[in-house]
Each structure stands twice: as C-alpha cells, then as structure tokens.
Amino acid sequence: MEGSSQLEQIDAKNCQELLDAGGDSEKRQAYGFECLTSGFANHVWSVASSGGKKRLVVKSYTDLMLLRIEAHAVGAVDELAGRCGVGPVVHLSNQTGLVMDFLPGRTLEEVDVHRGNLAMLEGVAKMLSKLHSQKVPAACEGEPMLWRTMEKMMLVAKQTPELLPAGIPSMEVIDQEIAAAKTALERHRPKIVLGHGDFKPSNVLEHNGEVKLIDFELGGPNYRGFDWMKLFRTAGDFSEESMRLFLRAYAESAGESCSLEDLEALLQETQVFEPLTWLEAFVFFLALPQFKSDELPRWHKLAEHRWSMYQESRARLFEMRHSAND
C-alpha cells in the first residue's frame, strides 16, 4: 500500500526533531517552517522532510487541546484516518503534536457546500462515509463525544464564573438544558458511528476533484447526524437541495437505501442536530476565556450569538416528528 511505503520513508527521529522545533522560533526558521494555520487548539506548519523529497505537516498542540478530549486519546483517530485513506498519513503522534504528510489543495468554505456541486458533495460524502464505517479506536471508546466534550467544557467554565458573559442563564440552568437536550435526542434514536466531531467545511481539503479530511482531534464515537449538520450549518444562504444531494451520496456510499422516503428520514436526522451544533459551540465559548482571557469581549459576543441560535433552532430537537416515532 502507498501509505505503508510512505511511513517507511520517513525517519521517526527526524519527525520528533521537527515536532520539538515547533516550540522554538529560531529552530522553525532554521528548518524552513512555513505557517499554515494557527487555531484555538494548535499551530500548524509545513516543512520539507530530512531528505527534501516530501513536504510534511507539523502540528503542535496548545493547552487548549485537552479542553475537550482525554490525553490518552489524542491522535488516535488521526492515525486511523491516515491508515484508511480518509486523511493524511501520520508519521508521529504524541501528546505534544503530530507529524503527517502534507496534502495539497484548498480547504472548503461554507459557501462551497451550498452550491449544489454534485461531484464535490459526492467526494465529501464518500470520505465521511468511509470514516464512519471504521471501528472506534479503543482509546476513544465511551459515550458519544458530544456529551463528553460538553461536560469537560462546562467543568472548566464553572471554575471562573467572573469570566462568563452577563446575558446568559446560570450554570445550573445550562446543565439542565444540556441534560434535557440529551434526553430529547435519545427519543430520536440517532445512529452512532466513528465521528469526526468537528466536521466544518474548513476541515475538508479539495484538490483537482479529490477530497480528503483533516483535523480529527475530536474524533470518536459520535452521532453521524452531528457531522452532517456541522458540515451544512451556516448563518448565510442555506441550500436544502445541496444537503439532499450530499445525503443521497452518503447513503449510496454506505450501501444504504436512498428512496425518497429514506432521504426524507436522513434529512430529518440531520436537522435534529442543528440546535446541538449551536449548543456545543456556546459551551466552548464559555470555557475559552480560561485559556484566552485577553479577548473576553469577543468570546462573550460569540457565546451570546451561539446561545441565541440554539434558542431559535431548539424546537427541531424537542418537537418530535411523526417519522421519528415510527
């Protein structure tokens, strides 16, 4: 297999040296690091391999990495995704970061998934379906990541109540709302798979018509509908037609029936998760000030917006439709 030969060509010692260099600006310059992204939970660079024949990606985790996941599970889904061809091949993974193959291409934007581009949507659906078909790594086993991550973030947010925005409910009320949302979701009987956990368009790479997925840090057992909705959730122009094209392609890739009735059921399964994508993001921005208190007004504004969007879409979760009771 191509992935296996690539693993053999990359020296593990060199990978560790590159990962160590991520924390030293002088070493990054000496190695020729090029910054790709700098997000909430990690810093990412590209760099040439020791032989100069390949480009690698070095991802260095920040303290925020462990806000939502357990240390022993870090990198487990990234490695699996590389082995099964869904994501880049990982050459080194530990609790400080990872080194993996560089994949050419551009990351998608929200507007891309709402354009009705069938070929692109089919490519995304095929890759996500393949990820969802994999066995959950032992390190990630447990209840769905959606609830685990929110529980961890709520514990962090409660530590410094003085950093919370003024215009939100009490922590007790939010806890009650999360519990009620969990109970409401269970009535819909959604399917649990090996989920990506943060399947926004920017975690999809497209190059010459080929699609790969990236950033699997929040991967683990999760609801497939959560991944679907995270891909299509937008505050801009929403295209139900594009969502239907994607869901049909997903069903075909997964070997599932995709009659009009089946497609309608998949659409409902997706829409149930819209409020939960907002609720999860709301809790994230409640916890974030613990790590980045210098931008408090920004986090407050984002938290208030996510709570507002949750309230607006809440009925999709709590109001049962006829098909959900079949």
Q: What is the 3-state secondary structure (H, E, C) of 187-220?
A: HHCCCEEEECCCCCHHHEEEECCEEEECCCCCCE
Instruction: Give the distance, in angstroms, between the CA of residue 78 and the centroid of all CA atoms in the same chain.
Output: 11
Q: How confident is the model at residue 207 (pLDDT cuts 50, 70, 90)?
A: very high
Q: Looking at the 3D structure of the chain, how many domains does it have? A: 2
Looking at the fold, whether 111 and 78 belong to one and the same domain comes out as no
Q: How confident is the model at residue 9 (pLDDT cuts 50, 70, 90)?
A: low
Euclidean distance between CA atoms 35 and 39, whole angstroms: 11
By residue range, what is the domain housing residue 69? 2-102
Residue at a domain's end among 102, 131, 166: 102
Q: Summarize pLDDT for 159-176 with one digit per residue, the tens.
A: 999 999 998 999 999 999
Q: What's the pLDDT at 111?
A: 95
> CB–CB of 54/89 below 8 Å?
no
**Percentage of residues in the chain with pLDDT exceeding 70?**
95
Q: Summarize pLDDT for 15-46 with one digit per residue, the tens.
A: 999 999 999 999 999 999 999 986 777 899 99
Looking at the fold, whether 83 and 114 belong to one and the same domain comes out as no
Euclidean distance between CA atoms 304 and 278, whole angstroms: 11
Is pTM beyond 0.75? Reply is: yes
Q: What's the pLDDT at 63?
A: 85
Looking at the fold, whether 89 and 175 belong to one and the same domain comes out as no
> Is residue 215 scored above 60 in pLDDT?
yes
